[in-house]
Structure 1
């Protein structure tokens, strides 16, 4: 059924037969959570029907919560939100592995510049001090779940740029430059809307809800080593408060 042309003479309405065929594809593992479905035109060709009929079949699975439609991006298999603990020790790779997901980070760009007043205050450096801005994409099971921007004080962390380029992991890079451990000193959560660039990277629609987490990580002496901002896709991540946040 899932690969054959749907007969217009069938007793079952054609759009419902298409929904059943796509549902079977999902149950058989043909598509994984986060995968993008073929276009309406491709599905119309597969089933031998018009795009309106395909759209109605897809709409049924959207109603059931099996698919998500994002205007301008396409139709995607709905993914179960990833639990992401926020506490004294926020570790991207450990958090996702604990949730049974495969973590991945992609660095989009890294640059040096002068710290703004707010950044300098967060990092406890002089305004205009040189910082490293590390920007990229976080993924779970190859699905983008967040954009991150990490700021590091270069005067306090010489060699951090080279370490991040080689290791990607913030924890590993900090350890390579002498920061054996670090903890989260503060976290602020704010609901925001995705701008056009964020929507493009996260495969969302402009204006979709994001949850922005802003935090400062400190070393064992309480000195800030990272000022970070992360924009989580609202429908893909469930932020949870770790017990260690109270300790």
Structure 2
């Protein structure tokens, strides 16, 4: 008797087809896949079968799903060193990624008690607050906010209106070099606003880095907080 060929399960054929799409570059790291409904129409199956195929790719680590956002091709995490000389553009270029920063908001306001302590100024003193979005190869990896003491850096807000680079803005304000004096890492969850900018779901895990940068005289010139998407960045500590 002749053996009957074993048929490939439909969900596996869907997984194979999507895997081929990714291998051929149809979908790149960080790209969003079509919706379950669109894939169901493409393959002529129900959404449950599509979901089974996607789950197989999730198990392989090729796809990541985010509640309410959909399925995305998994991106290789970006190595991001945190040490005494933290430079966003230099870090990403060294990791082989294309760095980009987008300015969300720049404002002058009064320092909170915590900000004042970090910057060694008095609560209520005027600071420049710079809010932005960091991207690698066009994909968001972190949101950040940086606070600068206006009594030491009176032109910093104007400089940040013309350049997204903190290093360049500090240079224009007379700070030719700076180093990281302290760093603190904390696990947290994305707020609704952070989730919107980072293209994740509210409540997804983030890693918050808080740090103080000082000038050559040891005076604090920046207090920064950055919220990284945990599966897009690998933080490495350098001495």
TM-score (norm 1): 0.92
Q: What do residues 27-66 of structure 1 show as CA deviations (whole Å, max 9, x unaligned)?
A: 1111111111111111112112221111111111011100
Q: What do residues 94-140 of structure 1 show as CA deviations (whole Å, max 9, x unaligned)?
A: 00000011111111111111001111111111221111111111111
Number of residue pairs matched by the alignment: 234
In the alignment, structure 1 segments of 5+ residues that lack a partner are 1-9
Please give the residue correspondences for 1:41-80 in structure 2 after superposition, counting only pairs within 5 Å: 41-80=37-76
Superposition RMSD in Å: 1.2
Which position in structure 2 is the counterpart of 1:96? 92
Which position in structure 2 is the counterpart of 1:195? 191
Which position in structure 2 is the counterpart of 1:23? 19
Q: CA deviation at 1:236?
A: 1.0
Q: CA deviation at 1:145?
A: 0.8
In the alignment, structure 2 segments of 5+ residues that lack a partner are 1-5
Q: CA deviation at 1:196?
A: 2.1
Given candidates 111, 114, 118, the residue that maps to 1:118 is 114
Aligned partners of 1:173, 1:115: CA distance in 2, in Å?
Answer: 20
Q: What do residues 167-213 of structure 1 show as CA deviations (whole Å, max 9, x unaligned)?
A: 11001111111110000011111111222222222122222211111
Question: 1:167 aligned to 2:163?
Answer: yes
Native 8 Å contact 2:145 2:225 kept in 1: yes
Q: CA deviation at 1:217?
A: 0.4
Which position in structure 2 is the counterpart of 1:3? none
TM-score (norm 2): 0.95
Q: CA deviation at 1:143?
A: 1.2
